[in-house]
Amino acid sequence: MNKLSSIAYYVTDKISSNDISLSEYVTTDCILQNKKGREVASNLPPQPCCLTRYQRGDILIANIRPYLKKVWFADIDGGASSDVLVFRAKEGHSPSFLYAVLLQDSFFDYVMQGAKGSKMPRGDKEQILRYEMPILSCSEESIGTFFLNLDQKIRLNEQINQNLPIPDHSSEVVEVHHAA
């Protein structure tokens, strides 16, 4: 078994909230539950502050209430609030593979085992890096690419489903046959 720390680390680079746009700002509120990505934040911090600088290919996870499974594979650069953990794949490792690892329900279950607090539990950053992953015979890149493609197809199908018309059955005649 390999530990998460063997393929990833927490990003600690900082950026001022004054140097990003609303579309580049990520909070725990704008990362969607159940691994559904993210939406644009509703507002920037009211006071200028330091944020964690993330970049395209980083994986962002809301660290408050980890059971909500809020995770996003960054497709832009920007800044994240302090309650968002920013993971970056180490040199020689695939960001998409790291995303595939962090998408697993077993990862979120593990984080909850070490979470602190009852009303608003937070993951333990040191414990999270000890998450054990199986050693795989396939390449990280092929596994990561598979998960990214699958994730993209799921999101596309969800968008299609949201745009489907709802059938109106109110005018249909229902025939009732009685047995003689």
Q: What pTM value is reported for the model?
A: 0.77
The strand pairing partners of 2, in sequence order, are 133
**Digit-coded pLDDT (tens) for 92-137:** 888 988 998 999 999 999 999 999 988 899 999 999 999 998 666 5
**Digit-coded pLDDT (tens) for 69-92:** 999 999 999 999 999 999 999 998
Considering the domain boundaries, does residue 38 fall inside one?
yes
Residue given tokens 């964690």 in the structure block: 52
Considering the domain boundaries, does residue 99 fall inside one?
yes
Between 67 and 148, the more confident residue is 67
CA distances from 92 to 8, 54, 118, 141, 156 (A): 10, 19, 38, 10, 30
Tally of structural domains, the chain: 1
At 71, give phi and psi (nearest 5°). -145, 145
**Digit-coded pLDDT (tens) for 143-160:** 666 667 777 777 777 777
Q: Which domain holds residue 88?
A: 2-159
Q: Which residues contact 105 (CB under 8 A, 6 or more apart)?
A: 69
At 80, give phi and psi (nearest 5°). -125, 145
The vertex-88 CA angle with 158 and 48, nearest 5°, equals: 85
Considering the domain boundaries, does residue 101 fall inside one?
yes
Indicate left, alpha or beta for 117 from its phi (over 0: left) and psi (-120 to 50: alpha): left
CB atoms within 10 A of CB 55: 14
Considering the domain boundaries, does residue 152 fall inside one?
yes
Considering the domain boundaries, does residue 143 fall inside one?
yes
87: tokens are 């993971």
Considering the domain boundaries, does residue 172 fall inside one?
no
Mean confidence (pLDDT) of the chain: 87
- CATH code of the domain covering residue 9: 3.90.220.20
CA separation for the pair 108, 167 (Å, rounded): 38
CA distances from 113 to 95, 98, 106, 125, 175 (A): 25, 20, 11, 12, 56
Considering the domain boundaries, does residue 176 fall inside one?
no
Considering the domain boundaries, does residue 175 fall inside one?
no
Contact at 8 Å (CB) between 85 and 63? yes
